[in-house]
Amino acid sequence: MSSEQEGESIRCLVAKVGLDGHDRGAHVISRAFRDAGFEVIYSGLHKSPDDIVQAAVQEDVDVLGISILSGAHNTLVPKIIDGLEEYDAADDTLVLVGGVIPEEDREGLKEEGVAAIFGPGTSIEETIEFVRENAPER
């Protein structure tokens, strides 16, 4: 038995979408989430929005953390959220975006359904705290 007395652990998919080949941040957050007691699945590099939706739905994740540095967030993130909606999974999936997202793009992403955006320099503790407070109840 694990020491998760407070119930199920939070299931997270950390996903790299598109052609962005830099995944150090995704590895750092995956490890930190694991250390915090979350169940973590890492997508690997170069995933399409559909790959990520399929993984999120099949793994029944509570949290989808999308790591994107390529600048294509305004195209790729809405495609992922639309895909989650097609599977009726959007309402019970907390969608987070990590990466370099210009200030002027943040509001649009939040309107699309992104719960929070974590830029460079965000503390890991802050991200973990946000997930603990906002992950959907099972």
Structural domain containing residue 74: 9-133
pLDDT in tens, 94-119: 999 999 999 999 999 999 999 999 99
Beta-bridge partner residues of 117: 97
| Locus of tokens 């790299």 | 16
| Count of structural domains, the chain | 1
CATH number at residue 101: 3.40.50.280
Contact in structure between 13 and 52 (CB atoms under 8 Å) = yes
Closest CA to 57 of 99, 103, 89, 86: 89
Residue 53: φ, ψ to 5°? -60, -50
Q: Is residue 60 part of a domain?
A: yes
Q: Is residue 2 part of a domain?
A: no
Classified as helix, coil or strand, 63 is strand
What's the pTM value of the predicted model, to 2 decimals? 0.92
Percentage of residues of the chain with pLDDT beyond 70: 95
